[in-house]
Structure 1
Amino acid sequence: MSNCWCWEAIKMKLSNVERLVLSNQYKILMDLNPDEVDYYEEKLKIVQNGYTHYYNDLFSEIDEELPEHISQEVVAVLNMYRAINFSYDDLKDDEKQEIPKHRVEFEGFDGNEEPQHYSFCRFVIEDSNRFQELHNKNGYNAHRDVLPKYRRMLIVWEKLGRKTDLSRDEIISLVTPPKQAI
């Protein structure tokens, strides 16, 4: 077993066409951003000279693609909370008193432990202006793991047929944590 650096694992290839396109893009960016000429000039030299060792630097500002299952899960949670909130709003006042308001409010996701869920959620609500009824003035960082709770709720919601018009009892079944065994 050798003690070599594993540069091979991160080596990237760009075709001549890709290099030409990137080269032109960096030239345009240099013209549009005179205060950042040095930054774009370095990127331009990497591309033009084919310095493959530094190709990964070209993409340092681009995150890895978000796995589809994460975006689907976030949207499912948001749809579920939309149904809960609209249904809660339709309840009579005496029925609402049986359900603590904080239980129906969307908390967000944990920014530390669930960062992909958290950032996609913020994008969907804040940048894409979707699910505005779930807007949270405190942000979308729950500051605790909430995925186990949401996944439990999604199972219940699935059994309810992903209904959007929920009864009081159905809301309670979604937002009430299961009893802990002693």
Structure 2
Amino acid sequence: MLDITETERLILTNQYKILSELSINKDDGSKEIYDELFEVFNNGYTSNYDDVTTNPDYFVYDENILDNDGQEEVRDLIAMYQYLLNHFTSAKSAYKNLPDIRFVGYDLNDSYEGKKLGYMGFIFDTLKSYPDVNEAFGHASERNSHGDTYAHEKMLQKYLEVRHNDDFYKETDKYVKEIIEAK
């Protein structure tokens, strides 16, 4: 289902908007599902198109959607922060001078990063995924890095480099330190 035309995407967007409106008085969760699917197709979140089989007010044209690489980067960044949150306390005990985790999102002043920030919001606010990472970022407006994205670029690069190592989940203290201190 990843390969649909802009016209098909528009039809699905409208379909889920209509279904959402028709479900407004139902108490079966269908309105929330239709709202989520509307957002997926309206914003062109291709990584989530397959959600159709499992469960703002204008159409965003293909040239304005976040590409798959950008979506993958956002998912990787959130997964990195989840890993760091899960193992930071232990790493801090092992490395007393370990700096705190710095939660840095994307820069709204850059159009491409703004799309990444929108997708991050979709993951946190619509899908309700990674609630502890969402909480660590704070209010949605705090996800805007204001040009500070470089702060997570080296961390993400290190995370991607080491996440498939055989001992990644055994030597968590070491990897948390390496990721946080990546330069």
Calculate the TM-score normalised by the size of structure 1: 0.55
Structure-2 residue corresponding to 1:63: 60
Structure-1 residue corresponding to 2:35: none
How far residue 177 of structure 1 moved from its aligned partner, in angstroms, is: 4.3
- Aligned equivalents of 2:82 and 2:123: distance in 1? 13
Q: Are the equivalent residues in 1 in contact too, given 2:90–2:173 (CA < 8 A)?
A: no
How far residue 149 of structure 1 moved from its aligned partner, in angstroms, is: 4.2
How far residue 164 of structure 1 moved from its aligned partner, in angstroms, is: 5.0
> In structure 2, do the counterparts of structure 1 residues 72 and 151 end up closer, same or farther at CA, with 3 Å as the change threshold?
same
User: In the alignment, residue 109 of structure 1 is paired with which amino acid?
Assistant: Y
DSSP-derived class of the 1:63 partner? coil
The count of aligned residue pairs is: 122
Q: Are the equivalent residues in 2 in contact too, given 1:88–1:96 (CA < 8 A)?
A: no
Percent identity over paired residues: 14
- Aligned equivalents of 1:105 and 1:171: distance in 2? 12
Structure-2 residue corresponding to 1:57: none
Q: Are the equivalent residues in 2 in contact too, given 1:83–1:164 (CA < 8 A)?
A: no
Q: Deviations over 1:127-172 (max 9, x none)?
A: 21111111222331111241x4434323322331343565333212
**Is the counterpart of residue 141 in structure 1 residue 144 in structure 2?**
yes
Structure 1 window deviating more from structure 2 (124-133 vs 152-161): it is 152-161
DSSP-derived class of the 2:58 partner? coil
- Aligned equivalents of 2:151 and 2:171: distance in 1? 19
Structure number with greater Rg is: 1
Q: Once superposed, which parts of structure 1, at least 4 consecutive aligned residues long, lie more than 6 Å away?
A: none
User: In the alignment, residue 129 of structure 1 is paired with which amino acid?
Assistant: K
**Is the counterpart of residue 94 in structure 1 residue 93 in structure 2?**
yes
How far residue 76 of structure 1 moved from its aligned partner, in angstroms, is: 0.7
* Superposition map of 1:1-182 within 5 A: 61-64=58-61, 65-91=65-91, 94-95=93-94, 97-101=96-100, 104-113=101-110, 114-135=113-134, 136-139=137-140, 140-146=143-149, 148-162=150-164, 163-164=168-169, 167-178=172-183
- Aligned equivalents of 2:174 and 2:122: distance in 1? 32
Calculate the TM-score normalised by the size of structure 2: 0.55
Structure-1 residue corresponding to 2:42: none
Mark the runs of 5 or more structure 2 residues left unpaired by the alignment. 1-6, 22-56
Q: Deviations over 1:35-55 (max 9, x none)?
A: xxxxxxxxxxxxxxxxxxxxx
Mark the runs of 5 or more structure 1 residues left unpaired by the alignment. 1-13, 30-59
Provide the alpha-carbon RMSD of the alignment.
3.0
